[in-house]
Amino acid sequence: MKRIYFDHSATTPVDEEVAKLMLEYMTEKFGNPSSIHSFGREVHKAVDEARNHVAALIGANANEIFFTSGGTEADNLALKGVALANRKKGNHIITTAIEHHAILHTCEYLEKQGFSITYLPVDEHARVKIEDVRNAVTDQTILISVMFANNEVGTIQPITEISEIAKEKGIYFHTDAVQAVGNYPIDVKELNLDLLTLSGHKFHGPKGVGALYVRRGVRIESVQQGGGQERSIRPGTENVPGIIGLGKAAEIAKRDMEKKIAHITALRDKLTTGIRERISDIKLNGHPTIRMPGNVNFSFSYVEGESLLLNLDLKGIAASSGSACTSGSLDPSHVLLAMGLTHEVAHGSLRISLGRGNTAEDIDYCLTVLPEIIERLRSMSPLSSTSTMAENNPCSSCHKH
Ligand SMILES: *Cc1c(COP(=O)(O)O)cnc(C)c1O
């Protein structure tokens, strides 16, 4: 059976060119970049080049890039590192209710350490209101952290406006840009950002490697101790193959950015229009226009997201949903709930995240299969007017909420 990958917000395939280069830095070029002999020096030079590529992708200087083990670690380093280094100035951090758990759970940890966190609400389209940001600032605020683009619904935040407030008030501004970097143009100088998180595997680089951009002059402390690597901000022998792969992925992303966005946007619009034409009782989640090129997120009334996913998977289509019935938790996505969706509507959500490898044929196939599945699931739903088999709803317990 043909398999179609529609889950690029979860991870992407490693580019062949990236994988090939990484292999070279595991076998022939295996030196430790800290060694002063030729084995070490050639690798040190390659790590520097990778740093240049990552910096170029986001408009940073190379010495403002610190490699980490991925987006999660970079988020931890940004929040904890800035909190620790600036706690004499204040103990207040502003973030949003729709951040990735790498931010939310780090904030919860910081609360236990005595920091006070404001979780800003979002509107129905998952956008933060500028006035809410402004009103949340106190004389204790040291950091604002607002994600660039949401991983579930694709909404892009008013980063420029938030950055202006941060500058005006003398507060650091961090953005978790893991969904956007490599998939959407970002310039840290233009946006006046102090810190930015990125991750390799969301743009055809390897898993387990990412970076934190830290503008020169930002006060930050390391959260782990060791040697002098990454200027002691992130000690530990470098993940050389990962870093080399991240650098190559960054180079390719910058080179192909425009072409990739045009291709993916066209597919997204075809899919969105097609779903609207073929299926009724649906709701587009996220902002109608200010969203990531590859993100399509719909709620389908009277349908349970997990059953939808399993049925799509049987047809070879890999997507994602905002509910988690089968993982033992009945709680739907915190993002969809923060947008004001009811539990029922949130449970019926489907995220299709497109990538550069997808084709118009993939969309056509999905537009054939999806309406059939929705119709079948609705015919089994106790809540649907077309229902004929009330007992067969595979996830009726969810509707308790
Ligand atoms: C994937 C993701 C992360 C985590 O990055 P990892 O490299 O997988 O640790 C953080 N934030 C957002 C918005 C993400 O999409």
Q: What is the pLDDT of residue 330?
A: 64
Q: What is the pLDDT of residue 384?
A: 74
Looking at the 3D structure of the chain, how many domains does it have? 2
- Indicate whether 83 pLDDT > 60: yes
In a domain, 391, yes or no: no
Question: Do residues 129 and 198 share a domain?
Answer: yes
Question: Do residues 238 and 368 share a domain?
Answer: no
pLDDT (mean) for 32-39: 98
Q: Using DSSP bridges, classify how beta strands 141-145 and 172-176 pair: parallel, antiparallel or unpaired.
A: parallel
Which of 238, 254, 270 finishes a domain?
254
Q: Quick check: CB of 242 below 6 Å from ligand 1? A: no
Question: Do residues 297 and 226 share a domain?
Answer: no
Give percent helix, percent strand, percent coil of the chain, each to the nearest 5: 45, 15, 40
Q: Which residues are catalytic?
A: 325
| 71 annotated as a binding-site residue | yes
Q: Quick check: CB of 183 below 6 Å from ligand 1? A: no
Q: What is the pLDDT of residue 323?
A: 60
- Indicate whether 396 pLDDT > 50: no
| pLDDT tens profile 306-316 | 999 999 999 99
Question: Between 15 and 386, where is the model more confident?
Answer: 15
Polymer length of the chain: 401
From the CA of 78, how far away is ligand 1's center (Å)? 14
Q: Quick check: CB of 99 below 6 Å from ligand 1? A: no
Share the mean pLDDT of the chain.
Answer: 94
Nearest-CA neighbor of 248 among 13, 6, 19, 8? 19
CB contact at 8 A, 179 and 149: yes
CA distance linking residue 113 with residue 278, whole number of Å: 52
Q: Quick check: CB of 181 below 6 Å from ligand 1? A: no
214 is in which domain, residue-wise? 16-254
pLDDT (mean) for 259-265: 98
CA distance linking residue 158 with residue 161, whole number of Å: 6
Q: Quick check: CB of 200 below 6 Å from ligand 1? A: no
Q: Using DSSP bridges, classify how beta strands 195-199 and 172-176 pair: parallel, antiparallel or unpaired.
A: parallel
In a domain, 132, yes or no: yes
Tokens of 329: 């938790």
Nearest-CA neighbor of 96 among 176, 164, 210, 154? 176
Tokens of 63: 């010495």
Residue spans of alpha helices (H) in 316-359: 334-338, 343-347
| 72 annotated as a binding-site residue | yes
Q: Using DSSP bridges, classify how beta strands 317-318 and 295-300 pair: parallel, antiparallel or unpaired.
A: unpaired
CB-count burial class (<10 Å; 0-12, 13-18, 19+) for 397: exposed
* Residue nearest atom 14 in ligand 1 by C-alpha distance: 178
Q: Is 8 helix (H, G, I), strand (E, B) or coil?
A: coil
Tokens of 50: 């990778």
Question: Could you tell me the CATH number of the domain that includes residue 361?
Answer: 3.90.1150.10
Question: Could you tell me the CATH number of the domain that includes residue 239?
Answer: 3.40.640.10
Question: Do residues 241 and 265 share a domain?
Answer: no
| 201 annotated as a binding-site residue | yes
In a domain, 401, yes or no: no
Q: Quick check: CB of 337 below 6 Å from ligand 1? A: no
| pLDDT tens profile 188-238 | 999 999 999 999 999 999 999 999 999 999 999 999 999 999 999 999 999
pLDDT (mean) for 168-173: 98
Choice from 199, 203, 320, 353 to test ligand 1 binding pocket (greatest atom count within 8 A of CB): 199
Question: Do residues 200 and 88 share a domain?
Answer: yes
In a domain, 175, yes or no: yes
Question: Do residues 240 and 170 share a domain?
Answer: yes
Least confident of 50-54, 65-69, 310-314, 391-395: 391-395
Q: What is the pLDDT of residue 392?
A: 41
| 325 annotated as a binding-site residue | yes
Question: Do residues 245 and 176 share a domain?
Answer: yes
Q: Which atom of ligand 1 is nearest to the CA of 72?
A: 9
From the CA of 72, how far away is ligand 1's center (Å)? 6
From the CA of 372, how far away is ligand 1's center (Å)? 33
In a domain, 392, yes or no: no
From the CA of 196, how far away is ligand 1's center (Å)? 12
- Indicate whether 318 pLDDT > 90: yes
In a domain, 396, yes or no: no
Question: Do residues 225 and 311 share a domain?
Answer: no
Q: Which atom of ligand 1 is nearest to the CA of 10?
A: 1
Q: What is the pLDDT of residue 7?
A: 97
Phi, psi of 152 (to 5 degrees): -95, -50
Q: What is the pLDDT of residue 400?
A: 38
CA distance linking residue 206 with residue 18, whole number of Å: 8
* Residue nearest atom 8 in ligand 1 by C-alpha distance: 71
Question: Do residues 37 and 106 share a domain?
Answer: yes
In a domain, 399, yes or no: no
CA distance linking residue 201 with residue 195, whole number of Å: 20
Nearest-CA neighbor of 233 among 87, 78, 339? 78
Choice from 178, 179, 204, 209 to test ligand 1 binding pocket (greatest atom count within 8 A of CB): 178
User: What is the DSSP secondary structure assignment for residue 156, as one 8-state letter?
Assistant: B
Question: Do residues 166 and 245 share a domain?
Answer: yes
Name, in order, each residue with C-beta under 8 angstroms of 307's C-beta and a sequence gap of 6 or more: 377, 394, 395
Q: Is 30 helix (H, G, I), strand (E, B) or coil?
A: coil
Q: Quote the strand ranges of 11-84, DSSP E.
A: 65-68
- Indicate whether 399 pLDDT > 70: no
Which of 254, 288, 323 finishes a domain?
254
Question: Do residues 77 and 208 share a domain?
Answer: yes
Question: Do residues 52 and 108 share a domain?
Answer: yes
